[in-house]
Amino acid sequence: MKVLGINAVFHDPAAALVVDGTTVAAAEEERFSRRKHGKRPVPFSAWELPVLSARWCLDEAGIGADELDAVGYSFDPGRCAPADELGLDDPWDWLRQDYARRAPAFLAEALPGLDPAAVRFVPHHVAHAASAALAAPYPPDEDTAVLVLDGRGEAASHLAGRYRDGRLEVLAGQRLPHSLGLLYEDLTAHLGFLRSSDEYKVMALASYGRPRFLPLFRELVRTTADGGFQVAAVDWAALAKPRHGEDDRLDPEHADLAASVQRRLEEVLLELAGWLHDAAGGPARLAMAGGVALNCVANARLAAEGPYQRVWVQPAAGDAGTALGAALHLSAEADVLPEPMPGADLGRGFPDAELEAELIRAALPYERPGDLAAVVARVLADNGVVAWYDGRAEYGPRALGHRSLLANPGDPATTARLNDIKGREHFRPVAPMVLAGRAAEIFEGQLPSPYMLFTHRVRDGWRERIPAVVHVDGTARVQTVDPAAEPRMASVLAEFDRRTGLPVLVNTSLNIAGQPIVDTPRQAMELFGAAPVALLVLGPYTVRRAAAFGGA
């Protein structure tokens, strides 16, 4: 059975292809269009489809649109209600709904050969839930609790349920306007950042503040006995003056406000997860998706203090992941039980011959070293920054060793240096990747953590050794590297450990601020040419800055 999943209606448009229950390809449209998040989440953009990523998914599998058994569109306009009935100030939301209703015809025009009747609407939060529970590495015949929290879907912002044998039983949901995601978005905008884009900056800023407004937010944001919650109106300006852009100064009151909302979010998440655990009959496993599930600080607290033995978060937890979820859901409905997600490297990749052809076209002096790990580790040990491009691109917002900037965690100046290279705010941390077998001696928390979706406390004795990856609160957002899954990156980590005694590297995404992560070798070479990066790695090939540009 061949099922294409489509996310289009809000933000982060994406496509995913599932064939006979196996995830074959998945990618966000931004990687092709080079527009961050693909588009803004306004009603006027709801007609835009992830045409480029959808065509690529089909090409990757070698099938035509006429061969698809179904197309899942991760929004069901039949479940919508007028915005004013939902308590939303969104007078053009009817246009979004109208565009969604027309999606089958739009898709048939964009993908020649597609029968519009093959397009099926999958409720937004059901798609999120499927992207988590049906992709998780859990036994399919055992109960898995699933928790979805985001800004909004058709008429709700939350779903709590239980999966068994590929079937979802919905146990609770929260109708709009109450939304933890919209609360965090409002905070993001008040602090001068871009709504539905920069929420992760607020999470980082929160570590610098004191949660002195927490008593107020405990009154404003409350869970309910039926597994939902209520969010009262917040007078943001009474708590901290608004910032009108990122050029405005950040004051301690802004960090305190961020800390207060972050702490309350964590508490509410724990309460909702606890209710779900009881309502679902005490399952050992929880799967999560929705934009709120990208809050790795909250995830870590839930894993540490919640009632579940294991918590798994979809690496494309935001709306992009609903493309995969819609496809998995339709597969399961057809009694084709999906297989666990094979990894996040589901996007475009290029064979070595194409990488070499691009280097030749660019007239860059390149090498193919016999011991790539030794070359890379030597540059990193000498405090050089490495642009690392290898294999297929990651699905989701995290760079996980396929499109990454690597650096030495032992130099405390590395963080500011990388933030300068990328044009990022200096309060934002950079993350570590670590050999899976060494992680527990350095970090506390849920391990392994292959998708960088939890924070971990750095153990005593290591904070001074890897200062570049330790956030102001003593934590780090860890990615563990399994040599069986990522042999090339594991070899670099092992060689760097041999040279420095540190089995850890800094890993941040291969892009600059405001741009999507690079997707093609040409984009990687363009970044290398524009940034002070010592070494470019394209698959098995290397380009040294000194050789290419005559500089260090």
Q: Give me the active site residues, please.
A: 11
d(CA 481, CA 456): 15
- Residue 363's CB is within 10 A of a number of other CB atoms, namely 7
Q: Which residues of 530-550 are buried (b: 16+ CB within 10 A; e: fewer)?
A: ebebbbbbbbbbbbbbeebee
Show the tokens assigned to 466.
């890897």
- Residue 324's CB is within 10 A of a number of other CB atoms, namely 35
43 to 61, 124, 157, 368, 550: CA distances (angstroms): 32, 16, 18, 49, 50
Residue ranges in 382-413 assigned as alpha helix (H): none
Contact criterion met (CB below 8 Å) for 426 and 413: no
What contacts 215, CB < 8 A, 6 or more positions away? none
Show the tokens assigned to 100.
């969604």
Element housing 148 (H / E): strand 144-149
Q: What is the chain's Cα-based Rg? A: 23
State residue 396 phi and psi, 5-degree precision: 115, 175
What contacts 464, CB < 8 A, 6 or more positions away? none
Q: Is the peptide bond before 448 cis (omega within 30 degrees of 0)?
A: yes
- Residue 235's CB is within 10 A of a number of other CB atoms, namely 8
Which SS3 state, helix, strand or coil, does residue 308 take?
coil
**Angle between helix 521-530 and helix 352-361 axes, rounded to 10 deg:** 40
25 to 70, 72, 90, 282: CA distances (angstroms): 16, 15, 34, 34
Residue ranges in 3-67 assigned as alpha helix (H): 30-33, 51-61
Name the CA dihedral angle for 532, 538, 543, 544, rounded to a multiple of 10 degrees: 40
- Report which of 432, 461, 460, 458 is spatially closest to residue 443, judged by C-alpha positions: 458
Element housing 356 (H / E): helix 352-361
Q: Is the peptide bond before 412 cis (omega within 30 degrees of 0)?
A: no
Contact criterion met (CB below 8 Å) for 118 and 103: no
Helix, strand, coil abundance in the chain, percent, nearest 5: 40, 20, 45
d(CA 245, CA 134): 40
10 to 251, 252, 493: CA distances (angstroms): 32, 33, 39
